[in-house]
Chains A and B, each alone.
Chain A
Amino acid sequence: MLPIKRQNLGELEMAVLEHLWLAKTGSAKGVHQNIGTQRGISPNTIQSTLDRLFKKQLLNREKVSHAYVYSPSVERGELMAQLIGDVVETLSGGEGDYLLSAFVEFAARTDESNLDRLEQLITQRRADECSGTQK
């Protein structure tokens, strides 16, 4: 199987994919009935979204009589892992990650001996607080 390319997916593209992951296969007409009608989107928009996803290699298609039937070419988990992987890659780059505030820094680590020292300080402080309360 081909590796998944770096994807930039819109909300509608994602909704179409979610539908096809559930339904396994679907034609433009069927996808429009399930997603397009409730969103007030024309069948042409759905058709072009399906074409875009096919060109991005996220869908397979097969001609059945006069219409194409589409099916997902990637598993949901694979795509999600790739989306998260992009974020991690950016974070690990260091430069430019200031717009993502992480609880602990991604690209900077504290060594174990320093962590042990800090833990000892916390334990000591807790003991001090306990003895202070008992007095």
Chain B
Amino acid sequence: MSYFGLIQFGILASFGFAFLAAVISTIAYPLVRQRLSKIPPAPRSNILLLWLIVPVLIGTTLTTLTFLPSFLSLLGLSPDHCTVHDGHLHLCLSHPPLPMNNSILQACLVALLCAGTVYVGRHVLKILRASKMQRSLMMASKPYHMQGVYIVDWDMPLALSVGIRHMKVFISSRLIQVLPSKQLEIVIAHEQAHLNRNDSLRYFIAHAFSFVHFPWLRNNMLRDFDLATEQACDEAAVEITGNRLNVADTILVVERLFNIKKPPFMAMSISGSNISSRVESLLVPSPAHKPVAKAYMVLAFFGLLLLTFAMMEDIHHYTESTLQFVVG
């Protein structure tokens, strides 16, 4: 018994579902983008993160669901459903289908699989590079009097957080020299918010698993996600330091310092900066947001689970029919 055909059809179904989710996102996102921008930054960045990976999530979840009926019957938890098939393609773990013989489709599948693997692999390499950079910065720095904060002896107004599992905040000696202590406190509070929110991991997930979206939509969503994340950290700095205008002021001061001291070899773009949006959002009060109660979320989760099980057989059969139509 060979599972090669089953794997082929499973991958094809995953890409099909993911592509469908990407198409729906392309239509839906421009319609809701304006409304999304009115949500406070922290929940907005959560929504955007989820939306960025929705095609991959839907692809894997629905494909798993497609195989669930035969998996349950294999375990003896449900009756064998093989008899109800009327000659079309059969996605079954007990009686796996023969491999597809359409060479063009096979080549497309291999190309898609390779592209996906290379894409995620590139981002995994970036993690390794980031951890190497964190090591370099650790070597070139000395601890500041705050936990997880290090001073780098550097003549640039540097403030950044680096790392995936153990993020660290690095502040340049130049920034410490020129910023008043109140503003330095704001910069550190912002960077520590990245640590507390595990933003490096969230950035990695958002970038590595959003490849199914159409490029222009993906770029827009990533830009919005980046802005929401920075704004969430600005809000965290406001909570700690207590004044929205001081945070806005600090962003401008550091930006001006950077404009003065930028290294000559750095190729910088003027248009890509999110400074204006960050400062302008700090000039108005944070939008009111009523968080969803945990009880409702648990209820919604179980409701979704129930719906999933109720639709399991239908998803299974519709997938089989669609695959039959595609492979001929």
- Tell me how far the C-beta of B128 lies from the nearest C-beta in chain A, rounded to whole angstroms: 10
- Report the Cα distance A17→B222, complex, angstroms: 42
Verify A104–B258 contact, CB threshold 8 A: yes
Chain A contacts for B72, CB-based, 8 A: none
Asked whether any CB of chain B lies closer than 8 Å to the CB of A109, the reply is yes
Q: Is the CB of B268 within 8 A of A122?
A: no
B270 lies within 8 A of A109 (CB)? yes
Listed stretches A35-43, A53-61, A111-119; interface member: A111-119
Q: Does B269 belong to the interface (CB within 8 Å)?
A: yes
Whether the pair B254, A103 counts as a contact (CB closer than 8 A) is yes
Which residues of chain B are near A89, meaning CB under 8 Å? 265
Asked whether any CB of chain A lies closer than 8 Å to the CB of B310, the reply is no
Which residue of chain A has the shortest Cβ distance to B262 in the bound complex? A109
Contact B283 A83 (CB under 8 A): no
Q: Which residues of A lie under 8 Å from residue B158 when comparing CB positions? A: 102
Q: Which of A87, A89, A108, A122 has the most CB of B within 10 A?
A: A87
The reply to whether A115 and B136 form a contact with Cβ atoms under 8 Å apart is: no
B52 CB to nearest chain A CB (Å) = 12
Is there a chain B Cβ closer than 8 Å to A110's Cβ?
yes
Measured CB to CB, the nearest residue on chain B to A119 is B252
Which residues of the partner chain A approach B166 to less than 8 Å between Cβ atoms? Answer: none
Residue from B127, B251, B276 within 8 A of A114 (CB atoms): B276
Interface centre among A84, A94, A107, A122 (most CB of B within 10 A): A84
Q: If A80-B139, A100-B162, A109-B269 touch, does A121 touch B274 (CB 8 Å cutoff)?
A: no
A86-B133, A90-B133, A92-B265 as given contacts; A100 in contact with B161, CB under 8 Å: yes
Check B133 against A98 for contact (C-beta < 8 Å). no
Q: How far is the CA of A18 from the CA of B229 in the complex (A)?
A: 38
The reply on B34 being an interface residue by CB < 8 A is no
- What is the distance, in angstroms, from B199's C-beta to the closest C-beta of chain A? 6
B280 interface hit (Cβ, 8 Å): yes
| A129 in contact (CB, < 8 A) | yes
Asked if B33 is at the interface of the complex by the 8 Å CB criterion, the answer is: no
Contact A98 B203 (CB under 8 A): yes
Is A14 located at the chain interface by the 8 A CB criterion? yes
Cα A122 to Cα B248 in complex, Å, equals: 8
Assuming the A-B contacts A109-B259, A122-B248, are A103 and B190 also in contact, with contact meaning beta carbons closer than 8 angstroms in the complex? yes
Binding site for A on B (CB under 8 A): 126-127, 129-130, 132-133, 135-137, 139-140, 152-154, 156-162, 164, 187, 190-191, 194, 199-200, 203-204, 207, 226, 229, 233, 245, 248-249, 251-252, 254-256, 258-259, 262-263, 265-276, 279-280, 283
With contacts A92-B263, A96-B129, A118-B279 known, what are 18 further pairs, Cβ within 8 A? A9-B135, A80-B139, A84-B136, A86-B136, A88-B263, A88-B266, A89-B265, A99-B129, A99-B130, A99-B203, A100-B162, A101-B160, A101-B233, A108-B268, A109-B270, A110-B276, A118-B280, A122-B245
Q: What are some 28 contacts across the A-B interface (CB < 8 A)?
A: A80-B153, A83-B136, A83-B139, A83-B140, A84-B152, A90-B129, A91-B160, A92-B263, A99-B130, A99-B203, A101-B161, A101-B162, A101-B194, A101-B200, A103-B191, A103-B251, A104-B254, A104-B258, A105-B273, A107-B268, A109-B268, A109-B273, A111-B270, A118-B248, A118-B252, A118-B280, A122-B245, A125-B245
